[in-house]
């Protein structure tokens, strides 16, 4: 699995498309707690964690249960765990859960890349 993180509008998806030859049909965009692991790329992972927080689902445990399904995936997550701490409890929990999931995935990942201003920074 390859993990790509970075801030909003930093070029994460375009980077993945160019590097791995992805088309839009290869990319599943998270909207809720359901993930189509049959797609080569899972984008907007932070939306998945937000939906999990709203439904009191442990996102890390969900990924652990489905580990065989995403081992060859490219996973993209917006960096929401840096900067100003959110005022609301739900948003703080969302930030925490996204950080927990990214920590788990980074340990499991073959490579971890951060995209900043469209530039690649290899972390692992």
Span between the terminal Cα atoms of the chain, in Å: 12
Gap between the Cα atoms of 36 and 42, Å rounded: 8
Instruction: State the CATH number of the domain containing residue 106.
Output: 3.40.50.300
What is the total count of domains within the chain? 1
Average pLDDT on 28-48 reads: 97
Written as six digits, the tokens of 23 are 């088309």
SS3 78: strand
Segments forming the whole domain that contains residue 29: 2-122
Q: pTM of the full predicted structure?
A: 0.94
List the one residue out of 2, 1, 8, 3 whose CA is nearest residue 116: 8
The torsion angles phi and psi of 94, rounded to 5 degrees, stand at -60, -45
Per-residue pLDDT tens over the stretch 70-119: 999 999 999 987 777 768 888 889 999 999 999 999 999 999 999 999 99
**What are residue 122's DSSP bridge partners?**
113
pLDDT for the residue numbered 80: 86
Residue 20: which H helix or E strand, with range?
helix 12-20
């Amino acid at each position: 699995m390859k993990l790509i993180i970075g801030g909003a509008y930093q070029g994460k998806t375009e980077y993945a498309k160019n590097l791995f030859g992805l088309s839009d049909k290869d990319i599943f965009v998270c909207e809720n707690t359901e993930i189509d692991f049959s797609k080569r790329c899972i984008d907007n992972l932070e939306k998945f964690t937000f939906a999990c927080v709203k439904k009191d689902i442990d996102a890390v445990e969900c990924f652990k249960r489905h580990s065989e399904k995403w081992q060859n995936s490219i996973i993209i997550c917006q960096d929401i765990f840096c900067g100003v701490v959110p005022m609301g409890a739900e948003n703080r929990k969302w930030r925490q859960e996204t950080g927990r999931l990214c920590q788990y995935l980074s340990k499991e990942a073959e490579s971890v890349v951060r995209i900043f201003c469209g530039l690649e920074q290899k972390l692992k």
